[in-house]
């Protein structure tokens, strides 16, 4: 149905709809100014939240773990221990190359679950042997843990599946350097681009980028480091710079790029993938706490508005 016809069927004109949207935007802006600017969430609050509420959530995660035990006889000598350790590490290597866990369990395991393919069944962390918890908690589905040793022998663990578990969060970081020329009363856009083009030619002719950055770049913080900005995660740099950086092949120079800071040439040195799970969870927790505080403060704000609203109704005026 056409949006205008839908509005008409609900008894609302387009002009009335526009007015409602305008009022809602105004109220949201007022609320943001009155409440949002005052809301602060400290690192300590986030840490406490992660240690309490998030750890409670972890207890609800269930793990399906495969287990192979290579038992050690009581009083085993060094030779037997070495043989069992080598056998267990050989099993781990086969599993990481794609071997079938159940078959290896039947063939090698001396645990009670061997004939069931080593399946320990669905368990929470609290229900797993404490020896296994540290290894299992950091695993993703399909992972095979490093060898675990106990007085009873060597344990091979594989996380077959899990429920309610959070996947790892990774980001691609970029190691980048640049040279910045700022515009001013003496240097306009054209002059800045010409200076950078000349620097590009010098680098292509064999001059050292770092030396040129130290002597030419107006970003004093990075100039002393040869133009290096270090490892940067997505979203940390201004959009025009990041867009140009992401479009570059390694060890190639960009053409002059303009941002609000001036004109740049950029060189990407390396990329790396970094596990950002802990930081990601920390920021998620901060956002959650901020939302809670905003909701609580909004209720108080609305209550104050209602309390402060004063309507003077006089019966005599109603009769006029």
Structural domains of the chain sorted by starting position, each given as residue range(s) with its CATH number in brackets: 62-163 (3.10.50.40), 170-275 (3.10.50.40)
Of the given ranges (67-76, 171-180, 256-265), which has the lowest mean pLDDT? 67-76
Distance separating alpha carbons of residues 308 and 9, to the nearest angstrom: 38
Query: DSSP 3-state assignment of 244?
Result: helix
Distance separating alpha carbons of residues 152 and 246, to the nearest angstrom: 53
First to last CA, the chain: 48
Structure token digits, residue 97? 């190359």
Distance separating alpha carbons of residues 40 and 241, to the nearest angstrom: 30
Sheet holding 170-181, edge to edge: 228-232, 170-181, 262-275, 257-259
Distance separating alpha carbons of residues 91 and 97, to the nearest angstrom: 10
Query: DSSP 3-state assignment of 265?
Result: strand
Stretch 129-142: mean pLDDT: 85
Of the given ranges (203-217, 247-261, 263-277, 302-316), which has the lowest mean pLDDT? 302-316
- pLDDT for 28 equals 67
- pLDDT for 255 equals 96
Distance separating alpha carbons of residues 69 and 119, to the nearest angstrom: 12
């Amino acid at each position: 149905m056409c949006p205008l016809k839908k509005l008409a069927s609900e008894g609302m004109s387009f002009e009335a709809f526009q007015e409602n949207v305008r009022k809602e935007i105004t109220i949201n802006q007022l609320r943001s100014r009155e409440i949002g600017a005052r809301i602060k969430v400290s690192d300590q609050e986030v840490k406490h939240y992660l240690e309490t509420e998030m750890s409670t959530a972890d207890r609800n995660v269930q793990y399906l773990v495969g287990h192979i035990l290579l038992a050690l006889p009581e009083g085993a000598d060094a030779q037997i221990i070495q043989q069992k350790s080598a056998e267990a590490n050989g099993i781990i290597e086969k599993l990481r190359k794609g071997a079938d866990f159940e078959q290896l369990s039947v063939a090698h395991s001396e645990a009670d679950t061997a004939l069931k393919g080593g399946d320990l069944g669905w368990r929470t962390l609290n229900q797993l042997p404490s020896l296994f918890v540290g290894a299992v908690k950091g695993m993703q589905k399909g992972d095979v843990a490093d060898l675990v040793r106990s007085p009873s022998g060597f344990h091979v663990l594989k996380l077959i599946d899990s429920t309610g578990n959070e996947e790892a969060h990774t980001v691609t970081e970029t190691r980048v350097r640049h040279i910045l020329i700022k515009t001013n009363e003496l240097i306009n856009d054209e002059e800045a681009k010409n200076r950078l083009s000349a620097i590009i030619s010098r680098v292509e002719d064999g001059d050292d980028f770092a030396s040129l950055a130290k002597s030419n770049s107006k970003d004093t913080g990075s100039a002393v480091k040869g133009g290096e900005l270090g490892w940067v995660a997505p979203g940390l740099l201004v959009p025009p710079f990041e867009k140009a950086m992401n479009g570059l092949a390694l060890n190639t120079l960009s053409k002059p790029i303009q941002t609000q800071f001036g004109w740049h040439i950029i060189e990407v040195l390396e990329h790396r993938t970094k596990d950002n799970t802990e930081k990601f969870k920390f920021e998620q927790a901060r956002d959650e706490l901020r939302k809670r505080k905003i909701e609580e403060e909004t209720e108080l704000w609305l209550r104050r508005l209602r309390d402060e609203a004063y309507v003077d109704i006089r019966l005599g005026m109603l009769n006029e």
